Amino acid sequence: MRIGIVCYPTFGGSGVLATELGKALADKGHQVHFITYQQPVRLGEFNANIFYHEVLVPTYPLFDYPPYETALASTMVNVIVNNNLDLLHVHYAIPHASAAYMAKKIVEKQGKNIPVITTLHGTDITLVGKDATFAPVVAFSINESDAITAVSDNLRDETHRNFKIEKEIQVIKNFVDVKRFKRKPFDAFRKVIAPNGEKIVLHASNFRKIKRVGDVVKIFANIVKTVPSKLLFVGDGPERQLAESMSRELDLCDHMRFVGRQEQMEDILAIADLFLLTSEYESFGLAALEAMAAGVPVVSTDAGGLPEINIHGKTGYLGHIGDVETMSSQAISILSDETKLKLFKHNAEQQAMLFDISTVIPQYEALYNRFLPTS
Ligand code: GMT
């Protein structure tokens, strides 16, 4: 199959998932064409089946707001026609679904049918998508897609709650390549972070408000009072300043590090003992799944789709949004009990297996096959 994939190329979960999907499809022999404004961060090494088409938006004095969506739709048209694509799979509705609708209509005039599949990832529905500024276009373009998928049951239900969707929304959950995350801890690295054998707690995100990183700092402040431990913050974003100033106020600077954006999450996760995810909403929580694949238990909120992956009392614990005290006790109960820690690590790995790439990619292929002409 010749598949066009449109996504955000940055560190966000939707871009990571779309890139990993494209790479896996290419490994299975499909021809994959990424259409984005930058090379996706996880694209990595050369693969003969992967093509990358950059969306260029020309500047012009009149353009206070460069017309990205128009440039994207035009690039889609060129890639569809010049490479005779079989289908277009767009990740994150805004503005990818509406640009895909435009491209579909343009190639239709040229006698070509291009099926469009839209995968909803979370904030394209629950935050920005439902904002009145975007909602009519989002609802229209989702409905005009030939197929719609959502990354969790929760996101499917949220989409129905927020929009009048006339088609079935198929749930195809986020996935992880479990093999890749099975790494032996790099002892020298562990020693640098935790020289006296302290436990290592990790948070990774884009530091947006929705992640409530302040709660991570507060929970860690409670943990460190009982369990000798270190906190690693991976990622960057608007709330990083807040996390930094809170850690100064709480006198935690010697116990934590901000390591910025990292591509080799598997190396970092390999030395971690606990993953904290305090989000106000997560449609799924891919970062938590990657942690579990590396055998790291998770203490998270019970928001959105998180209970679909983090099993309370088994792979970690769930607390209510903002309930710092409960999540602190939960984290301490795992970190202070070696037997429990070992059991939860094992359970986390087993749970991640349910979402292994090998079980999820065929679901996308089956969906694509429904749209191929039968000859
Ligand atoms: O988490 C983010 O803010 C990034 C966001 C994105 O769209 O890139 O992630 C969303 O998509 C991921 C992949 O499907 C999900 O695992 C995340 O839970 C989801 N984030 C939210 O719903 C906040």
- The full set of domains in the chain, from first to last, is 2-174+357-369 (3.40.50.2000), 178-353 (3.40.50.2000)
Res. 46: pLDDT tops 90: no
- Kindly write down the DSSP assignment for every residue of 38-53, as one continuous string: S--TT--S--TTEEEE
Alpha-carbon 219 to chain mean position: 23
Residue 186 has a pLDDT of: 81
In angstroms, what is the span from residue 346 Cα to ligand 1's centroid?
25
Closest CA to 262 of 253, 254, 274, 272: 272
Percent of the chain with pLDDT over 90: 90
Mean pLDDT across the stretch 135-164?
96
Residue 185 has a pLDDT of: 76
pLDDT digit string, tens, across residues 225-243: 999 999 999 999 999 999 9
Please give the number of the atom of ligand 1 that sits closest to the Cα of 15. 8
By CB atoms closer than 10 A (0-12, 13-18, 19+), residue 106 is middle
Residue located nearest, by CA, to atom 4 of ligand 1: 12
Confidence of residue 187 (pLDDT cuts 50, 70, 90): confident
Residue 43 has a pLDDT of: 87
Residues 28 and 362: beta-carbon distance below 8 Å: no
Res. 74: pLDDT tops 70: yes
Residue 264 has a pLDDT of: 86
Residue 183 has a pLDDT of: 80
How much helix, strand and coil, in percent to the nearest 5, is found in the chain? 45, 15, 35
pLDDT digit string, tens, across residues 61-73: 999 999 999 999 9
Q: Say how many C-beta atoms besides its own lie within 10 A of residue 153's C-beta.
A: 15
Confidence of residue 316 (pLDDT cuts 50, 70, 90): very high
Percent of the chain with pLDDT over 70: 99
Residue 279 has a pLDDT of: 98
Mean pLDDT across the stretch 135-156?
96
Res. 120: pLDDT tops 90: yes
Q: How far is CA 264 from CA 1, 43, 270, 289, in A?
A: 30, 12, 10, 15
Q: CA 95 to CA 68: how far, in whole Å?
A: 9
Q: What is the mean pLDDT of the chain?
A: 95
Residue 129 has a pLDDT of: 77
Cβ of 283 below 6 Å from ligand 1: yes
Residue 375 has a pLDDT of: 60
In angstroms, what is the span from residue 50 Cα to ligand 1's centroid?
24
In angstroms, what is the span from residue 123 Cα to ligand 1's centroid?
7
Phi, psi of 277 (to 5 degrees): -140, 105
Res. 11: pLDDT tops 80: no
Residues 250 and 221: beta-carbon distance below 8 Å: yes
In angstroms, what is the span from residue 177 Cα to ligand 1's centroid?
18
Cβ of 9 below 6 Å from ligand 1: no
pTM tops 0.85:
yes
Cβ of 149 below 6 Å from ligand 1: no
Residue 66 has a pLDDT of: 93
Residue located nearest, by CA, to atom 17 of ligand 1: 285
